[in-house]
Structure 1
Amino acid sequence: MFPELKNKIVLVIGSSQGIGKAVVETFLNSLSVVIAADITYDCDKLQTIDKRYFQIHLDISRETEVSELSQQLIENKMVPDILVDVAGISTMDFLVNSQTSDFEKTFQVNTRGTYFAMKYFTKAMIDHNKKGRIIVIASQAGKNGYRGMSAYVASKHAVLGLIKTAAIETAPNQILINAVCPGIIETEMKQRERVEGGALRGMSAEAVRQEDISQVPLKRTGTPQDVANVVLFLASPLSSYMTGQAINVTGGMTMH
């Protein structure tokens, strides 16, 4: 789709399902070289899937693992031109009943993990004089509040603060840092949230799904590909005058 992305090295963190899987497939279709990192993979060294596709295990919440992956890519002359951080988790409970451990776990992955990825891979890009792109999958929950999701909402608000600050700091290096804020996207995580959130509210998962649709002006929920398309735009030359932005992909549900 964008010839400029051919042979660009793209690291996708959180790549095994949902939005991350769609992002991987989209960049492979663009003839990029894709490194897919995910906690579910069992290979500690880069595993070649084919000549343009590699997989590796990564727990983004562990700083040592992020640092070691950065060093491994440097040693293999595979410093990313583009980083896409999709990794994220959610927990469901009302604030007064919530567990502190769930709050901390959510921040460890969503916020600390994003911080680690941005810290180490931005440094690698700068050290190797790469005018790169960093794209973080945040959420419309980084702009709004949602019942039963205090930890997730707070973590995504923090992520947007990180990308704004980092975008200012890396602008002199021509490293553009932006976030994508998906709305209601049909993923495995969303399906689980409907079950757990519905139980909190005395609703079936199907009733929650219908409520979801009713809140979207376009009258449909999103697909992982809807999000991957915007990621591709942010990685492309078409977004060369954009940094520090948080772009909604919500079907009109969030407009700010």
Structure 2
Amino acid sequence: MTVAHITGAARGIGKSIALRLARDGHDVAVSDLAVMAAELEATRKEIEAIGVRAVALHGDVSDPESVRRLVAETAGQLGSLDVMVANAGIAQTKALLEVGPDEYDKVHAVNGRGVFLCYTEAARQMIAQGTGGKILGAGSIASHKGFALLGVYCSSKFAVRALTQAAAQEWAPHGITVNAYCPGIVATTMWEEIDHDLGEINGVETGESMKEMAAGISLGRVSTGEDVAKLVSFLAGPDSDYMTGQSVLVDGGMIFA
């Protein structure tokens, strides 16, 4: 039985990924901030109901000691760490000229440093185990294209793409593949917040910004967490064994790269 850890799994895309990997047969550790404890515990119970082992852990991906503990507790309680999904992330919607250094650092601490810490701590554990593994990071359409009013967020997601390429090359000799999944517009709380903030900036009603962006989706709808989880299932499983260093779009046809 393989063991997967998904960060930011209390709700949204992370929860969908956790449930899908459980249905694929992985034992699952889910983690999120302590303030998300109730939602995270609900996720853990749903995973256990599928019939696999599950643990819920609290941690902050921007903190090195916290990430070390999350990896150690996953391996200690479930026996190993075979799949790491660095999913936790935050958004920021703001004109670049209005972004302060602290605001910039806050986004990159989670979306950039957080992925770096999850990647490296997971790799150390997998190398010590000697059995290879799968490391996955949360990219975005913003890993492939910069968007106005989302500049800092985009820069953090471009960082994920670069880290993924470098890590894939460095850890291939250890049998570890590293890939990123890159969603577009997803029906989650984060995208509701982006829509709200864009509406305030542009002076339009809530829902209008999302509607305008969704008009550019070839398949004609925004995605669900389950749409993203299907790609993660592939990247976490044996069918992707010969694939590494890729940042794969799953956006319904918005960005073509």
Q: Same fold (TM over 0.5)?
A: yes
Which residue of 2 is the match for residue 3 of structure 1?
none
Task: Give 1:133 shift.
Answer: 0.3
Paired position in structure 1 for 2:29: 35
Report if the CA contact (8 A) 1:38-1:57 is conserved.
Answer: yes
Decide which structure has greater helix share. 2
Question: Alpha-carbon deviation of 1:153?
Answer: 0.4
Instruction: Say whether the 8 Å CA contact 1:178–1:234 is kept in structure 2.
Output: yes
**How many angstroms does 1:212 deviate by?**
1.7
Q: Does 1:23 align with 2:25?
A: no
**Equivalent pairs, count:** 248
Check conservation: 1:135, 1:179, Cα contact below 8 A: yes
1:141 lines up with 2:142 in the alignment = yes
- Report the Cα distance in structure 2 between the residues aligned to 1:133 and 1:114, rounded to whole angstroms: 14
For residues 118-150 of structure 1, the C-alpha deviation after alignment (integer angstroms, 9 at most, x for no partner) is 111101000111220011111010110111111
The answer to whether the 8 Å contact 1:41/1:56 transfers is: no
Q: CA deviation at 1:206?
A: 1.8
Mapped pair 1:246 → 2:240: no
- Any gaps of 5 or more consecutive residues in structure 1? 1-6
Q: Distance in 1 between matches of 2:69 and 2:187?
A: 33
Structure 2 matches for 1:87-102, cutoff 5 A?
87-102=88-103
Distance in 1 (alpha carbons) for counterparts of 2:54 and 2:176: 24
Checking the alignment, whether the CA contact within 8 Å between 1:31 and 1:52 is kept in structure 2 is no
Say whether residues 1:12 and 2:12 are aligned partners: no
Q: Does residue 129 in structure 1 map to residue 130 in structure 2? A: yes
Report the TM-score, using the length of structure 1 for normalisation. 0.92
Cα RMSD for the two superposed structures: 1.8
Q: Percent sequence identity over matched residues?
A: 30
CA distance in structure 1 between the partners assigned to 2:63 and 2:5 by the alignment: 17
Counterpart-to-counterpart distance in 1, 2:76 and 2:6: 18
Counterpart amino acid of 1:29?
A: R
User: TM-score, structure 2 length as denominator?
Assistant: 0.92
Shift of 1:29: 1.4
> Residue 75 of structure 2 contacts residue 81 of structure 2 at CA under 8 Å; is this kept in 1?
no
User: 1:114-193 alignment to 2 at 5 Å?
Assistant: 114-193=115-194
How far residue 75 of structure 1 moved from its aligned partner, in angstroms, is 3.7
Segment drifting more, 130-139 vs 66-75: 66-75
2:191 is aligned with what amino acid?
K
Q: Alpha-carbon deviation of 1:42?
A: 4.6
For the 8 Å contact 1:142–1:153, the answer to whether it is kept is yes
Q: 2:84 is matched with which residue?
A: 83
